[in-house]
Amino acid sequence: MAESLADTQVLEPTDAGIAQAVEVLSRGGLLGLPTETVYGLAADAEDDRAVRKIFEAKGRPADQPLIVHVLPAWANRYAARWSSTAAVLAGAFWPGPFTMVVPKSEIVPQSVTGGLPSVGLRSPDHPVAVEVLRRFGRGVAAPSANRYGHVSPTTVRHVLDDLDGRIDAVLDAGSSEVGVESTIVELDENGSIRLLRRGAITVEQIVAVTEVPVVDCTSGPVRAPGMVLTHYAPAAPVEILTDAELQDRLTALDSSVLVVSCGPVAHRRSVVFEDDRAFAAGLYDALRRGDDQEVSLVIVAPPTRGELAPAIMDRLTRAAHRG
């Protein structure tokens, strides 16, 4: 049974608010932490009991590993080996929306990695997250701060909609800028790089700095534990259309259908974004409107161009998948 907390405290990202947030982590509690990708649900990465509470609060299966958030200089504390490729990648993309799966050190509890010998490390690029880490002095394990299988949170409202009363506190730093979770790569012994999840850092960028080919492991058999096919799903079903298909369907849609698109659309209930970046930043908020009882269906016509288009399509495919 997840222990039910009376109230989840919403903390301002002031000196005092951050001090309270660090205090929550120090006593083994759960903290909603803003990052540039999505809000995380953070606990002391070295405290097995605290980490277990994350799984309870989310309703997440225990075999799905968590990402440890660090300052760049701490990588060696949590990684058993830090290859030259890891160093090059960290130099290029940290802090940022980029996670590396590397052999784990002794200090990382099994609960963080779901029993795997490897750990995912990420250095977030968000002033509030960085300040929390700096003052806390150690890494925090943090998955996205949503109920298991639901849409990831990009605002404090989203975090509270899913986890109010189940976590101790959340730091409010407005909307997450990137809006989709980090790119994840796994580095193996012989220096090869496997892409486990698409995000804002693209394959082209990774190849450009490492000159190592990237093996795409994002589709086919489930490569990264937790990369399940159904995820990011609001209450209403989600359907993906091309712009042309959307135009054909428009006149037949009633107003209970929410349309999310990357170009102007003549429909009463719609969310329109300017480009792939804005689309990614607003995508989860738009999908969460599909939890509204008045919405019967969410139709999305995603951007086909831009660096974030592949990550957007990946999340949408999972949101649209049923069963």
For Mg ion, the binding residues (CB under 5 A) are 144
Residue 269, exposed/middle/buried by CB under 10 A (0-12, 13-18, 19+)?
A: middle
CA-to-CA distance for 178 and 265, rounded, in angstroms? 24
Q: Is the dihedral of CA 240, 245, 246, 249 positive or negative?
A: negative
Nearer to ligand TXA among residue 17 and residue 65 (C-beta): 65
Binding-site member from 57, 79, 132, 142 for ligand TXA (CB under 6 A): 142
Q: Is 118 in the site for ligand TXA (CB under 6 A)?
A: yes
Q: Is 184 in the site for ligand TXA (CB under 6 A)?
A: yes
The four Cα atoms 165, 170, 173, 176 give a dihedral, to 10 degrees, of: -70
Q: Is 143 in the site for ligand TXA (CB under 6 A)?
A: yes
Nearer to Mg ion among residue 162 and residue 301 (C-beta): 162
CA-to-CA distance for 316 and 180, rounded, in angstroms? 11
Nearer to ligand TXA among residue 61 and residue 191 (C-beta): 61
Under 8 Å CB-to-CB from 87, ≥6 apart: which residues? none
CA-to-CA distance for 134 and 70, rounded, in angstroms? 9
By CB under 6 A, the residues from 205 to 264 that bind ligand TXA are 224-227
Phi, psi dihedral angles at 263 (to 5 degrees) = -150, 165
Q: Is 38 in the site for ligand TXA (CB under 6 A)?
A: yes
Pairing of strands 118-122, 67-69: parallel
Nearer to ligand TXA among residue 133 and residue 299 (C-beta): 133
Nearer to Mg ion among residue 231 and residue 267 (C-beta): 231
Q: Could you tell me which residues are beta bridge partners of residue 240?
A: 300
Residue 98, exposed/middle/buried by CB under 10 A (0-12, 13-18, 19+)?
A: buried
Nearest distance from C-beta of residue 211 to Mg ion, angstroms: 31
Binding-site member from 123, 182, 202, 218 for ligand TXA (CB under 6 A): 182
By CB under 6 A, the residues from 45 to 64 that bind ligand TXA are 64
Q: Is 113 in the site for ligand TXA (CB under 6 A)?
A: yes
Q: Is 111 in the site for ligand TXA (CB under 6 A)?
A: no
By CB under 6 A, the residues from 60 to 89 that bind ligand TXA are 64-67
Binding-site member from 181, 276, 285, 314 for ligand TXA (CB under 6 A): 181
Q: Residue 152: which H helix or E strand, with range?
A: none
Nearest distance from C-beta of residue 35 to ligand TXA, angstroms: 5
Q: Is 17 in the site for ligand TXA (CB under 6 A)?
A: no
CA-to-CA distance for 142 and 54, rounded, in angstroms? 8
Binding-site member from 21, 45, 89, 119 for ligand TXA (CB under 6 A): 119
Nearest distance from C-beta of residue 265 to ligand TXA, angstroms: 29
Give CA separation, 229 vs 40, 62, 286, 298, in Å.
21, 18, 20, 18
Q: How many CA atoms lie within 13 A of 162 on its CB side?
A: 31
Kindly list the residues in this chain that would bind ligand TXA in the complex (CB under 6 A). 35, 37-38, 40, 64-67, 97, 99, 101, 113, 116, 118-120, 122, 142-144, 181-182, 184, 196, 224-227
